[in-house]
Structure 1
């Protein structure tokens, strides 16, 4: 059953991507409702949602609760933009990338504390639970990425989210030194757990300056571990 779903995901992603490109949709254009896309693309609801989530992570689309799904700035020239960001990432040192994150992510956390909806806060909390339940470092790192993006998305600002997605794509291209792992998964006292909890707590408390400070402290903690 799992193999069947996995085999269908690339096809669903390609279908939605082609639908946007061939339909002449431009950045800011609203896509049809999910029900209409299911009918037009002949996709199962689950496959469509997975494809939309992948496109949202890449910056090709963005979604606003109650308003719909919109084409993002990454859609028209996605491959060219991705290549540019990859090239940029390869030219950056890990330290420069952390400095860039320190400039951008505390501001996103501040905005999240002001604008986050209940749904956005619930999404942040889900990433925290999944990170603690991760069975491997790879699973944890996926949820770590998801946490930071959930905070960015909670800012409720499509432009800021687009900036974050571009930063994240460049980050993946940076050459990082291998980190020695003593365990197959993070230990329960892994420092990022409490740091993430504090970021989430201040966002939930509607404390903009506290959220910015918590994010800054977290990134500095990560930087200190990577660059002792």
Structure 2
């Protein structure tokens, strides 16, 4: 009987921590595939204990809101596809960076083609904003976040929820795959970074409703990225 109040207190603490963690994710505008801050960072921001945080993370993982990858971090799961979390985790451990790029080459040019056919004016405006933010990024981390936003905006512009879900799954794996070959020699992308012009070409093709040009521009962009990373087409 004496243990009951303690158990009740612990249950309340866990529920409060889960609620605080949900609020943090919601207010942070995290998207599927985004990585949450480290446990140490979350403990400081939320003002909670490590044990309470881990229990809360476990709750969110069990319900399918997040998924965790040992050594790489905690990621936001694709909305509405909770049963796929374990598969995403497995894929992130099994897929190599080269395989990941080949998967992107299979899907994303098709997304650009569909976006050229279906994008609304609002979608095009969003693409322009994402492109401009990427070009103005002050750091590589900021650039990569905005580059992510640009590519996801293309998937959204297709107007096809299934295609967007496929992109989110692929992108979730991409974020968790170890990119040990990436070496940065500058604080931010140089002004002549090839991706800037490649993004322009993709956007122009989508604006002009030129499906074949959008497909080709995205494929050229991803091949360029692959060449920079791996020295291969």
TM-score (structure 1 length as normaliser): 0.69
**Alignment partner, residue 14 of structure 1:** 22
Question: For residues 107 and 101 of structure 1, what CA distance do their matches in structure 2 show?
Answer: 10
CA gap of 1:15–1:197, structure 2 versus 1, over 3 A, is same
CA contact (8 A) 1:195 1:214 kept: yes
Unaligned runs of 5+ in 2: 1-17, 35-63, 66-76
**Alignment partner, residue 134 of structure 2:** 131
CA gap of 1:192–1:140, structure 2 versus 1, over 3 A, is same
Of 103-112 and 177-186, deviating more is 177-186
**Alignment partner, residue 216 of structure 1:** 219
Question: For residues 123 and 57 of structure 1, what CA distance do their matches in structure 2 show?
Answer: 20
1:88 aligns with 2:96: no
Of 80-89 and 116-125, deviating more is 80-89
Distance apart, 1:178 and its partner CA: 3.6
Distance apart, 1:89 and its partner CA: 1.6
Map 1:1-228 to 2 at 5 A: 11=19, 14=22, 50=27, 53-54=29-30, 74-75=78-79, 78=82, 80-228=83-231
What is the CA RMSD across the aligned residues, in angstroms?
A: 2.6
Which entry has the higher C-alpha Rg, 1 or 2? 2
Question: For residues 119 and 13 of structure 1, what CA distance do their matches in structure 2 show?
Answer: 32
| DSSP-derived class of the 2:191 partner | coil
Question: For residues 202 and 179 of structure 2, what CA distance do their matches in structure 1 show?
Answer: 25
Distance apart, 1:214 and its partner CA: 0.1
CA contact (8 A) 2:115 2:206 kept: yes
CA gap of 1:57–1:125, structure 2 versus 1, over 3 A, is farther
| DSSP-derived class of the 2:185 partner | coil
CA gap of 1:81–1:117, structure 2 versus 1, over 3 A, is same
Distance apart, 1:121 and its partner CA: 0.5
Question: For residues 137 and 152 of structure 2, what CA distance do their matches in structure 1 show?
Answer: 18
Question: For residues 79 and 224 of structure 2, what CA distance do their matches in structure 1 show?
Answer: 35
**Count of residue correspondences:** 174
Question: For residues 212 and 77 of structure 1, what CA distance do their matches in structure 2 show?
Answer: 28
Distance apart, 1:56 and its partner CA: 6.2
CA gap of 1:54–1:12, structure 2 versus 1, over 3 A, is farther
| DSSP-derived class of the 1:54 partner | coil
CA gap of 1:217–1:76, structure 2 versus 1, over 3 A, is closer
CA gap of 1:77–1:197, structure 2 versus 1, over 3 A, is closer
Distance apart, 1:86 and its partner CA: 2.1
